[in-house]
Amino acid sequence: MQLLDRYEEVVGHQEVSRLRQLAERVAGKHVVHVKRRSSAGWFP
Amino acid sequence: MNELGIHARWEVINASPEFYRVTKAFHNGLQGFPVTLKKRDFNLHYEINRENAKQLNLEADVVFVHDPQPVYLPKFTAAGKVGRWVWRCHIDASRPDRSIWKHLEGAFSDYQATIFSMPAFTRPLHIPIFIVPPSIDPLSDKNCAIPETERLQTLTQFEIDPQRPLLLQVSRFDRFKDPLGVIEAYRLLKTYYPEVQLVLAGGPADDDPEGAEVLREVLDRAGEDRDLKVLMLPPNSHREINALQRSATVVLQKSLKEGFGLAVTEALWKAKPVIGGACGGITLQVHDYHTGFLVHSPAGAAYRIRYLLRYSEKRQRMGRTGREFVREHFLLTRHLRDYLTIILCLDQPGTGLLAL
């Protein structure tokens, strides 16, 4: 099962469908996220 | 993103502890605390960014730079390597220390857009500002459904009585999270509900020197009360936190100052009403009589906890409302949709504040 299918079970078909439609318009793009090293804690 | 046909990846900057000492001051300064840094500190920031710009693979259509640490990467990256630069600020930068903002502002001319978590966290800028609240991942260990046996085992592990009401705050031991105020609220409540239990769950944060001092104060204030547990959990305690949140009768996030407050989101997702300090992103999530209550004092918190303990049906209804509220606004899929929209917008540049 694809990850998106698992999300669909939580958020519903419509939300994932909107994601897919939007993604079609930017498909193939290369995106990089840059961050600092992971912080030690997980506490907000 | 990759499953949707977008080639996405993360790069992590490499830096010395000294760099992180300086950028911790940036972090504090951005949130309005007065900080004193020297010219060499700012120069160190430039130099580490220059080195990382050489070492990291930044070739992409869009690069999202998170927080102040790598903010100067565009300055030192060869022209044409990156299509669009976007700076993502995760904290409240609305009232920054002037010297810090002046330093960071120098980087923004190389960006095409910025992202803040909520409108109140922004500053006037000459580039478009997108508003993207953070989110939680409903499939992660921290937020997924867990077996009832695991939940009960966790309670046994921490000597918590599953039959009695449980109040919970999950946060660093930080004065702005007001753990002492939570204890005060609990003590006020204990007069009326002697069976109530309180858990303050936090963990070590090696970049927070004040944490140990606050923890000492909390332990001192907790004293010998067997119904008040102060838990120091290791960084990978996601499932334990999940179990504690699911076991709570009421969750508190009695912060005096807060970023977005994802612990609130997590609790709402587990259908728990939240009593939160009226600050930062908590105000976006906690709505009186719908998903919990906003409070301004320990007495206010105690008063609202008492209400929720007394009216279990209302408590459960507020929990259900909170879960649906998070499903609609604060899950990872909405976050992803916002990012896709931004990527799309960057190909059709506009101006001003655009709330997604």
Separation in Å, CA of A17 to nearest CA in chain B: 11
Among residues B170, B57, B299, B239, which one has the least CA distance to residue A31?
A: B57
Six-digit token string for B8: 């996405």
> What is the tens place of the pLDDT at every residue in B124-155?
999 999 999 999 999 999 999 999 999 999 99
Share of chain B above pLDDT 70, in %: 96
pLDDT value, residue B259: 87
- Under the phi-then-psi rule, with left for phi > 0, alpha for psi from -120 to 50, and beta for the rest, what region is B145? beta
> What is the tens place of the pLDDT at every residue in B318-351?
999 999 999 999 999 999 999 999 999 998 765 5
pLDDT value, residue B349: 64
Of A23, A25, A35, the CB nearest to B67: A35
- Which of A13, A31, A38 is the best substitution to test chain B (most B C-beta atoms within 10 A)? A31
Cα(B291)–Cα(B323) distance, integer angstroms? 9
Cα(B5)–Cα(B180) distance, integer angstroms? 48
Mean of the per-residue pLDDT values of chain B: 93
pLDDT value, residue B355: 46
CA end-to-end span of chain B:
18
Whole-Å CA distances, A32 to B64, B88, B135: 6, 12, 19
Establish if A17 touches chain B: CB-CB under 8 angstroms: no
> What is the tens place of the pLDDT at every residue in B248-296?
999 999 999 888 999 999 999 999 999 999 999 999 999 999 999 999 9
DSSP at B219: H
Residue B303: partners with Cβ closer than 8 Å, 6 or more residues away: B295
Other Cβ atoms closer than 10 A to A34: 24
Whole-Å CA distances, A14 to A5, A17, B3, B8, B221: 12, 5, 17, 24, 50
User: B73 contacts in A (CB within 8 Å)?
Assistant: 34
CA end-to-end span of chain A:
31
Residue B300: partners with Cβ closer than 8 Å, 6 or more residues away: none
Q: Is the pLDDT of residue A42 over 50?
A: no
Contact A43 B205 (CB under 8 A): yes
Amino acid at B82: V
Share of chain B above pLDDT 90, in %: 83
As a whole number, mean pLDDT of residues B19-27 equals 89
Mean of the per-residue pLDDT values of chain A: 85
pLDDT tier at A40, thresholds 50, 70, 90? very low
Contact A29 B13 (CB under 8 A): no
Among residues B284, B277, B289, which one has the least CA distance to residue B319?
A: B289
Helix/strand/coil (H, E, C) string of chain A? CCHHHHHHHHHCHHHHHHHHHHHHCCCCCEEEEEECCCCCCCCC
Alpha helices (H) in B1-92, listed in sequence order: 17-30, 39-55
Cα(B171)–Cα(B178) distance, integer angstroms? 10
Separation in Å, CA of B191 to nearest CA in chain A: 30
pLDDT tier at B356, thresholds 50, 70, 90? very low
User: B138 contacts in A (CB within 8 Å)?
Assistant: 7, 10-11
Contact A42 B11 (CB under 8 A): no
Contact B219, B185 (CB under 8 A): no
> What is the tens place of the pLDDT at every residue in B49-101?
999 999 999 999 999 999 999 999 999 999 989 999 999 999 889 999 999 99
Strands B82-88, B60-66: pairing is parallel
Angle A13-24/A3-11 helices, nearest 10 degrees?
A: 130
- Under the phi-then-psi rule, with left for phi > 0, alpha for psi from -120 to 50, and beta for the rest, what region is B271? left
Establish if A23 touches chain B: CB-CB under 8 angstroms: yes
As a whole number, mean pLDDT of residues B207-222 equals 85
Establish if A1 touches chain B: CB-CB under 8 angstroms: no
Establish if A13 touches chain B: CB-CB under 8 angstroms: no
Contact B58 A34 (CB under 8 A): yes
Cα(B271)–Cα(B143) distance, integer angstroms? 11
> What is the tens place of the pLDDT at every residue in B105-129?
999 999 999 999 999 999 999 999 9
Contact B318, B273 (CB under 8 A): yes
Strands (E), chain B: 7-12, 60-66, 82-88, 113-116, 129-131, 166-170, 197-202, 228-232, 250-253, 274-277, 292-295, 353-355
Separation in Å, CA of A14 to nearest CA in chain B: 11
Of B59, B66, B171, the CB nearest to A43: B171
